[in-house]
Structure 1
Amino acid sequence: MMNRLFYMLWTSRSLSSLASSIWLMTWIAIIYGTTKSALLAGTVTFVRSLAVLLSGLSLPFWYQKYPLHIVAHRFQLLQFMLGMLFAFALLPFQNNFSNNLLMVTALVCAACIGYSEGAASAASSAIFPRVVRQDQWVKSNSLVSTGMQMISLFGWTVGGIIIHTFGEIPVLQLSALLLGLSSLILFCVRLQESHGSTTSKTSLWSGWSILFTLPHVRMITIMDIIEGIASGIWIGAVTLVFVQQILGQTEAWWGYINAAYYAGTLLGGLLIVKLANKVEHHLVRSIIIGSFSFSLLVLCYAWNSTPYVALLLVLIMGPCYQLRDVAQRTYIQRIIPLEEQPILFAAQQSLSTILFGLSIVFCGLIADTFGARAVYLTGGLMFFVSSIIGIWLRRHTKSACVDHSLFT
């Protein structure tokens, strides 16, 4: 069992994640309902992503000034205060706004809350290994990952229903109240740290330096880059085209495919909790098995044209990806000192944001040029290349690692 601080931190992050998904959906609904433009509605997500990227780049500066838990507390509180401002002070008067003013308000909200959300999320993530024992890191990472998947599934599934039922303004206000509860719980999570004790590296680029200079981490980063660019195979437009053109089904199956993937990740998280001890002693092997299995399943999915087989394949993909993701995060935690992990995770968050944007463009171009099946074939091959790099990682670093069980 995890300790009290872990569950408090996990609850705080879950509430914040739920609130964020709800407010993002609500803003998209408001802008689309007003402008009837999918492009303008999508701009809200784009600006939020840029703000999250900026937060990751600037976090080392805040870590230099304040202890880690103070950074998490203050940005979570700032996110709550901004949510209250927009939901209770500005949006109730939206009927008096012109379309341009409403659009500006939405983008300012996305930028401000996106920055504070990104900073609070990264700082909170760096606290997790500090509140549990090292032998519980696999289990804690799996619980965190599973919890976030559950929240994403619940938020993006129920969000549209409650927006339709209660209206945009009440839902935004609910989101702000959830952020307030998250801030209150997080405030109770405190660490014994002094100013600047989080890391001895104070450069804004120090986390990036760790990503690309340390041999072990560099190989993991290369795998992340390859898989990050391939991750666009699951963007909504590509999945919808595949469902219609290859599976020959309606939009309803688009939802079934998404639900099956989330269900698979939840199942995977629960399995890894049960197998935590085995994964803990075979981290690199778990990374390789997860990536290789995922690549084979994606390739099978690309060539398959039977809807129910597609559902089964997507369901099985979830545990494979969870195995790779949890093992990789635990591996990083094992080889990087605690005081350097916050800046590293901040850099990883920024990198993942950049890669997500590139993946949308990359996969969109392939889909438009060669069709949806080519997207999944390309993605499967890229995940396969990533697993080969994992084998190289195991062979290249096995002799240099103090804990040889990591590479068995």
Structure 2
Amino acid sequence: MGRKRSFFLLLSNQSIASAGDIFYLVSIISVVYERTSSVFLVSLIPFINTFSRFLGGLFAPWILEKGSLRSILASASIGKGLLLMILPALLLTNVVSSFLIWALTVVGLIAVFDSWITPARNASLPRIVPRHSLVRANSLMAMSDQTIQLAGWPVGALFIVLFPPGAVLIGTSLAFMVISFLLLGVRIERSDASFQTSSGPSMAAVLQAGWKYVWKHRPLRTMFIVDGITSLTGAIWIAALLYVYVTDVLQENQSWWGYINASFFAGLMIGGMLCFRFEKALQIKARYFLIGSSFCVAVFTFWFAFPASSVFALLISLLIGIPTQVQEVTQISLIQIHTEEKQLARVFSARDVILTSFFGFSSLLVGGIAEVVGVRNVFIMASLLLTISGLMYVRYRNVLSTSAEEQELST
């Protein structure tokens, strides 16, 4: 009963925090565009968010060594709330430059906190739920994330219409601080004994430990290489590329960009539900789910480049989302199983750095590539990369398992 209560408190904390992240970004984007009318300045917000998360992720292992996972999750939530309190006061002034500088600074610092929260949360789950329930727990976490992503942006936009941006920021700030108290009821086993004191290893040793551990263990090394490949293809879903896709391939108005995004997130939700429903099959045949989902994403992405109609493109977008989520849930569960408990935070910190850096790098390149070869060919290239990731899983399928016996043989 205690484990179940701890998990649902952590899930509630994550859900409210995810909604808060969307609401504060909608508010800042709205104010920046209203006061500057600059698309470039608005585009700086996701860039700074990604870059700051990458920098924060580099130092996350050292931060996570300095306290219990629960205290770090709570401190980060409180820190995000306090940072957001600065912006409503600046809205009362008419100095655009001051608000812009502070807004971008707050976005960057909150992204740093998020770079600590994600690995801490993923490292906490194996200490809260039993191993045989990890797939179910990760599925619920994923469904929560995607539900918030699907509903959060339109709800956030509605809040901006109904309430002043300053009020939305204050409400979000208070929510971040209040949800930190939910973590008081979360019991994370052995977390309080896992952090290092001042006599522990040096910062350099801690920052390198996770990467060395990943490289030493073939299952983790394989999954992290695939993570890098799939992160490169993730940039095909950025707004700039989808705008061109909607115009050039579908020949529709820009509202279809929103429909495609909604369809993709709906697919992610369905994928999470399927993982939850078939958790036992996924645990037993994890490697085959990884292989199958990888090739499905590759095939559907290629198909997305040649839709028979605009409605068909929505269906394909939905189909891409389903195996994408199955692959993500399966992979997180396998990482949790193949990693020693004391190394979990370090390993997930390294993974977050890979995902963020490769996605950020790809986001910068994909627009230029689309201008040279055309947007349709970008999706074809992405499908080829995804096929390579599937072939890697086929090549190393024998080291990917959920059983303790096979795990020992694969390291």
Same fold (TM over 0.5): yes
Give the equivalent residue in structure 2 for 1:294: 297
| 2:80 is the counterpart of 1:83 | no
Give the equivalent residue in structure 2 for 1:352: 355
1:22·1:159 contact (CA, 8 Å) conserved in 2?
yes
Letter in 2 for 1:186: L
Give the equivalent residue in structure 1 for 2:240: 237
Structure 1 pair 397–138 and aligned structure 2 pair: CA distance change class (3 A): closer
Could you tell me which of 251, 254, 257 is aligned with 1:254? 257
- Per-residue deviation, residues 287-330 of structure 1 (Å, max 9, x unmatched): 11111111001111112241111111111122211111111111
Stretch deviating more after TM superposition (356-365 or 114-123): 114-123
1:65 Cα deviation after fit: 2.1
- Per-residue deviation, residues 25-46 of structure 1 (Å, max 9, x unmatched): 2112211211111111121222
Distance of 1:332 and 1:139 partners within structure 2:
15
Give the equivalent residue in structure 2 for 1:33: 34
Structure 1 pair 38–213 and aligned structure 2 pair: CA distance change class (3 A): farther
Distance of 1:297 and 1:222 partners within structure 2:
22
Distance of 1:124 and 1:216 partners within structure 2:
21
Equivalent residues in 2 for 1:138-177, closer than 5 Å:
138-177=135-174
1:124 Cα deviation after fit: 2.2
Equivalent residues in 2 for 1:323-342, closer than 5 Å:
323-342=326-345
1:192 Cα deviation after fit: 4.4
Q: Report sequence identity in percent.
A: 27
Give the equivalent residue in structure 2 for 1:17: 18
Distance of 1:168 and 1:135 partners within structure 2:
44
Question: Could you tell me the TM-score, scaled by structure 2's length?
Answer: 0.92
Letter in 2 for 1:296: V
Distance of 2:139 and 2:54 partners within structure 1:
25
2:236·2:379 contact (CA, 8 Å) conserved in 1?
yes
Distance of 1:314 and 1:259 partners within structure 2:
9
Distance of 2:260 and 2:191 partners within structure 1:
48
Give the equivalent residue in structure 1 for 2:43: 42
1:181 Cα deviation after fit: 2.6
Could you tell me which of 363, 368, 371 is aligned with 1:368? 371
Partner SS for 1:111: helix
Give the equivalent residue in structure 2 for 1:272: 275
Equivalent residues in 2 for 1:96-135, closer than 5 Å:
97=95, 99-135=96-132
1:404 Cα deviation after fit: 7.5
Question: Could you tell me the TM-score, scaled by structure 1's length?
Answer: 0.92
Stretch deviating more after TM superposition (106-115 or 373-382): 106-115
1:198 Cα deviation after fit: 4.8
1:274 Cα deviation after fit: 0.6
List alignment gaps of at least 5 residues for structure 2.
Answer: none
2:87·2:99 contact (CA, 8 Å) conserved in 1?
no
List alignment gaps of at least 5 residues for structure 1.
Answer: none
1:48 Cα deviation after fit: 2.1
Structure 1 pair 132–102 and aligned structure 2 pair: CA distance change class (3 A): same
Would you say how many aligned residue pairs link Structure 1 and Structure 2? 402
Letter in 2 for 1:93: L
Distance of 2:224 and 2:191 partners within structure 1:
30
Letter in 1 for 2:34: G
Distance of 1:246 and 1:111 partners within structure 2:
35
Please, what is the CA RMSD of the aligned residues?
A: 2.3
Could you tell me which of 203, 207, 213 is aligned with 2:206? 203
Partner SS for 1:190: coil
